[in-house]
Amino acid sequence: MLALALRDAGMEVIYTGLRQTPEQIVAAAIQEDVDVVGLSCLSGAHNYLFPRVVELLREQGASDIMVLGGGIIPESDVPELKAKGTQEIFGPGASTTDIVRYIEAHVPKRA
């Protein structure tokens, strides 16, 4: 599980569970003062869910929270998801090491 790999890499991880609405995800992200929201979608709803989370974060003044996506995402959908604010997409087979490195390279260290 990715959450365990991130924790093992020294990151604090808050796992909200399955079937959370974009509103629930954004509320938890803001309440917990996170740097990154990682979304996984296997249902095909990524074209709605990922941009909706980004939109709600912006509406709440939390556009500095990076949104990453993963799951079964067709390559043809990736450019549009990125254009709508999902910073990176990690597909099936992405290594947890690569995901950890990406986060470390793109999220400023907190003092």
- In angstroms, the CA 9 to CA 25 distance is 23
- In angstroms, the CA 72 to CA 69 distance is 10
37, 68 contact by CB (below 8 A): yes
User: Domain 2-9+33-105 belongs to what topology?
Assistant: Rossmann fold (3.40.50)
pLDDT given for residue 111 in this prediction? 67
- Tens digits of per-residue pLDDT, 47-71? 999 999 999 999 999 999 999 999 9
69, 39 contact by CB (below 8 A): yes
Statement: the pTM of the whole predicted model exceeds 0.75: yes
- Tens digits of per-residue pLDDT, 8-36? 999 999 999 898 999 999 999 999 999 99
The domain ranges of the chain are 2-9+33-105
- Tens digits of per-residue pLDDT, 3-15? 999 999 999 999 9
